[in-house]
Amino acid sequence: MQSRNSRLNSSALRGAVDLAAVKAAGEAAQKAEQTRAERARQAAAGEGPALAEYPLVLDVTEETFEVEVVQRSAEVPVVVDFWAEWCGPCKQLSPVLERLAEEYAGRIVLAKIDVDANQLIAQQFGIQGIPAVMAVVAGQLVPLFQGAENEANVRKILDQLIAVAEQRFGIVGGAPGGDGEGAAAEPRVPADPALEAAHDALDRGDLAGAVQAYQNVLSDRPGHVEAKLGLAQAQLLQRVEQLDPQRVRAEAAADPKDVPAQLRAADLDLVGGHVEDAFGRLVDTVARTFGEDRDAARLRLLELFEVIGPEDPRTVAARQALARVLF
């Protein structure tokens, strides 16, 4: 198993921000543990199948999504493959995902969703193009990538997903009929105490403590990627903690040239899951301002890119938009 220092390719915690649930990570982990305990009790009592008895690759519909994806994500990371029969790249990617699901021997489950037959799910996930691959961990959405990827990159992304699922939510899938570590499990890497203290502070809602703890990590290791991500998230939540959303949005709407108002509104947009709105607001602010105001909007946009992740398609699109207004 990889250490928590591995960062998910599309920002593992981004889904938590999208669902306004960064501070709820601890609650999600606790709920996942309760679900696993109940499932174990049911299996022992013969009331339901054990996790090892479930298929590793399955077709999911709108009717089965809640059970097969959301509920199961309390026990194992569920990778969701959005595909369609007419999609050529899907036919290249899907066999790779299926083969890796079998190879990982229970550390993930692959849920395949035909977007033509399940349009409501595709709409709810905001799918704009396929193939698109996401994950659900402890009921929280974790976007992974869109478009075809080679097997080496997919393997790397799955390894990082598994590491985050274990370290963030305590979720470890198990090999069917095995000991719960998976046939391809790697040796466990000891946790980083300083980083764990920062994560724990964030989970408790101690934002000031989390900011300080992440800064402590970065003071010793300035290039620590996960600490940078955690610090960006903690600072974002700290900024919005005392805001009055109605007042902030009214001020931002009343004066588009009020840069501090636009920054506050963008923060609220992001925490509320409106990522494109947050990015678009700041790009527009950069376009209409100059000097220090422009720099403030640009720097805030770069901070929010850190929260969402540099490889997320929305970040990529916003970077391109930012470059157009700057140059």
Q: Give the side-chain half-sphere CA count within 13 A for 211.
A: 9
Closest CA to 2 of 156, 225, 191, 186: 186
Closest CA to 198 of 183, 186, 215: 215
d(CA 199, CA 207): 10
Assign residue 286 a region (left: φ > 0; alpha: ψ between -120 and 50; beta: otherwise).
alpha
For 84, residues 6+ apart whose C-beta sits below 8 A from its C-beta are 90, 114, 115, 116, 130
Catalytic member of 76, 87, 137, 266:
87
Question: For the purposes of burial, counting CB atoms within 10 Å of the CB of 135, is it exposed (0-12), middle (13-18) or buried (19 or more)?
Answer: buried
At 29, list the tokens: 């982990």
Catalytic member of 17, 29, 56, 90:
90
Active site residue 90: yes
Assign residue 124 a region (left: φ > 0; alpha: ψ between -120 and 50; beta: otherwise).
alpha
For 186, residues 6+ apart whose C-beta sits below 8 A from its C-beta are 1, 2
Strand (E) positions, 71-209?
78-83, 109-114, 132-137, 140-146
Question: For the purposes of burial, counting CB atoms within 10 Å of the CB of 197, is it exposed (0-12), middle (13-18) or buried (19 or more)?
Answer: middle
Active site residue 99: no
d(CA 68, CA 73): 8
- Residues that are catalytic: 87, 90
